[in-house]
Structure 1
Amino acid sequence: MVDQRFDGIKIRNLYKIFGPNAASHIEAVRNGLSKTELNEKFGLVLGLKDINIEMPAGYIQVIMGLSGSGKSTLIRHINRLIDPTAGEVLVNGVDVVKMNEPELRDFRRHQTAMVFQKFALLPHRNVLENTVYGLDVQKIDRTKSTDVAMQWLERVGLKRL
């Protein structure tokens, strides 16, 4: 689906149920089956329920919640590290859920970035080389990628490392 009227991220009716045959239980959840009932009766875990968000491009957004409330699960749907059980995830009008593998790879390389909670640096690289790595994957000219990386390292106070 393409929605050209919105520049940014739009999430519509997003559900994530973890476990086998999760999609067959969506209607029951939509009709009021609780998280506890879903787990007790079917051994499934409800990660996200009917999430609807609009995040316009150019603004800083914050997603806050208690530990285990679904923040990371939600973010991983935007870059499709996790596939939703139901719903749409639109980035600049394009539904990420419907992207094929080459489209998804290109999207991840050029439109998204993610720092994981338990990130791992490449131990054989220094700070600059780790910072440049994502640009290397995109095949950006090394001189340009080094300049960009240095600007960001300076901005976050890590230029001297």
Structure 2
Amino acid sequence: MTVVSATPDTDALSLTVVTELHAAPERVWQLWSDPRQLERWWGPPTWPATFTELDLRPGGRAAYAMTGPDGEKAPGWWEFITVDAPASLSFIDGFANEDGSPDPQMPDSRTSITIEPIADGSRMTMVSRFADAAQMRQLVEMGMVEGMTAALGQIDGILAEG
């Protein structure tokens, strides 16, 4: 299994997910930089994502929609803060309205990704930080931990393809 741990920390208002992957950091980076690869794992298996925009640079944006088993759409957006290939990136992650604009009724989070070499591949650590306990609780109750764990669990299959 790809996911080593998923740890919500209500004191730090964060969710940390650690994965270990059998691939070099440069290959793991491609999972973020190639929208066709990204949409194969971003979102749980029953809610696959389709990316319509991916401008991976500081100030750039990503736009996507996850589609549920009944055809329900859950659009989202990212705004990239830092990009340091192949070692790290950070972005604001939010829900979107149908037109792609940020949904002010839903919380966003700040997500930092680090990719570091380990003996048999790479360790990718994702830390999502929330503005307050209510926002964190809302996202955790919506299934963020389970969804992220299921989404990341799809990466091994992608990497096995080469």
Q: TM-score, normalised by structure 1?
A: 0.23
Higher strand share: 2
